[in-house]
């Protein structure tokens, strides 16, 4: 009953843009798309989130399709330190309390020198 699907792994050349897709075809109207990443043995790191408009911050850009059934996380200039597992999560904005958050298997992104 996974709410999101992501490819298990991707490679990207250092300095190029990394584009990580996520499908969330059952997303409901009040649910946001969140992206986190986890570098080995570290805690999850928040990257970005959005509802329906494209979003950009200092780390990444988030492109959400008009029907909101899929999104793409873009790391504009990937560095070796961006090697991590990237998780796409669909949640309500204020629903973290008393909830179970499933990170799923994510996409293992490897940046190639």
Partner 1 sequence: GAGVSQSPSNKVTEKGKDVELRCDPISGHTALYWYRQSLGQGLEFLIYFQGNSAPDKSGLPSDRFSAERTGGSVSTLTIQRTQQEDSAVYLCASSPDWTSYEQYFGPGTRLTVT
**For binding to partner 1 (CB under 8 A), which residues are involved?**
34, 36, 41-46, 48-49, 93, 96-105
**CA–CA distance, 36 with 74 (Å, rounded to integer):** 13
Nearer to partner 1, 94 or 113 (CB): 94
Measured from the CB atom, is 1 or 113 closer to partner 1? 1
- Of 15 and 28, which CB lies nearer to partner 1 in the complex structure? 28
Contact 14, 112 (CB under 8 A): yes
Distance of closest approach, residue 109 Cβ to partner 1, in angstroms? 17
Per the CB < 8 A criterion, the answer to whether 101 and 89 are in contact is yes
Nearest residue to 3 via CA among 26, 36, 34, 30? 26
**Closest CB 72 distance from partner 1, rounded Å:** 18
| Gap between the Cα atoms of 29 and 52, Å rounded | 9
User: Cβ 96 to partner 1, closest distance in Å?
Assistant: 6
Q: Considering the complex, state which of residue 53 and residue 113 has its C-beta at the smaller distance from partner 1.
A: 53
CB of 25 to partner 1, least distance (A): 20
Q: Please say whether the beta carbons of 35 and 73 come within 8 A.
A: yes
């Amino acid at each position: 009953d996974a709410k999101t699907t992501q490819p298990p792994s991707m490679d990207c050349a250092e300095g190029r843009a990394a584009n990580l897709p996520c499908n969330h075809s059952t997303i409901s109207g009040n649910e946001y798309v969140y992206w986190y990443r986890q570098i080995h043995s570290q805690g999850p790191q928040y990257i970005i989130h959005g509802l329906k408009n494209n979003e950009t911050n200092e780390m990444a850009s988030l492109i959400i399709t008009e029907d909101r059934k899929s999104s793409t996380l873009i790391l504009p200039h990937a560095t070796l330190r961006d090697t991590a597992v990237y998780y796409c999560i669909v949640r309500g904005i204020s629903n973290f309390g008393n909830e179970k958050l499933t990170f799923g298997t994510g996409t293992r992104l490897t940046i190639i020198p």
